[in-house]
Amino acid sequence: MAAEDDDRPGLKVPSGRLSRMVSMGGLAGGIAGNMLVEGGKRLAKGERPSLNELLLTPGNANRVADQLSRLRGAAMKVGQLISMDAGEIVPPELAELLARLRSSAHAMPAKQLRSVLNDQWGRGWISNFERFDVTPLAAASIGQVHRGLTKDGRDLAIKVQYPGVRESIDSDVDNVMSLIKLSGVLPKSLDLKPLLDEAKAQLHEEADYRREAEYLSRFVALLGEDDRFCLPKAYDDLTTTDVLAMDYLPGNPIESVEHLDQVERDRVATLLFDLFIHEIYSYRLMQTDPNFANFLYHPKTKKVVLLDFGATREFEEDFTECYRRLAVGGLSGDQEMVRAAAAGIGFSTDGMATEKAQLLMDMLSISLEPVRENAPFDFGKSDIAQRLRDKGLAFRQDGDFGPVPKPQALFLHRKVAGIYLLAHRLKARVNVRALLNPFIPEVSE
| Residue ranges in 288-383 assigned as alpha helix (H) | 317-332, 335-345, 354-367, 369-372
Q: Which residues contact 415 (CB under 8 A, 6 or more apart)?
A: 276, 286, 287, 288, 289, 290
Q: Which residues contact 147 (CB under 8 A, 6 or more apart)?
A: 132, 133, 137, 155, 156, 157, 158, 248
Among 41, 384, 410, smallest CA distance to 194 is for: 410
Max CA-CA distance within the chain? 72
Please name the helix (run of DSSP H) or strand (run of DSSP E) that holds residue 29, with its range, or none.
helix 17-44
Q: End-to-end CA distance of the chain: give it in Å, rounded.
A: 62
Cα separation, 212 vs 235, whole angstroms: 12
* DSSP symbol at 161: E
Report the relative pairing of strands 155-161 and 252-253 from DSSP bridges: unpaired
Catalytic residue among 85, 172, 242, 289: 289
Can you state the percent helix, strand and coil of the chain, rounding each to 5?
Answer: 60, 10, 30
Cα separation, 327 vs 337, whole angstroms: 9
* DSSP symbol at 102: G
Which burial class, exposed, middle or buried, applies to 311 when counting CB atoms under 10 A from its CB (0-12, 13-18, 19+)?
A: buried
Cα 55 vs. chain centroid, distance in angstroms? Answer: 25
Render 164-195 in DSSP notation, one character per residue: THHHHHHHHHHHHHHHHHHHT-S-TT---HHH
Among 133, 25, 27, 140, smallest CA distance to 73 is for: 140
Cα separation, 304 vs 251, whole angstroms: 9
Q: Are 425 and 255 in contact (CB under 8 A)?
A: yes
Render 388-403 in DSSP notation, one character per residue: HHHHHHHHTTTS---P
- Establish whether 289 is a catalytic residue: yes
Radius of gyration of the chain (CA): 23
Catalytic machinery residues: 289
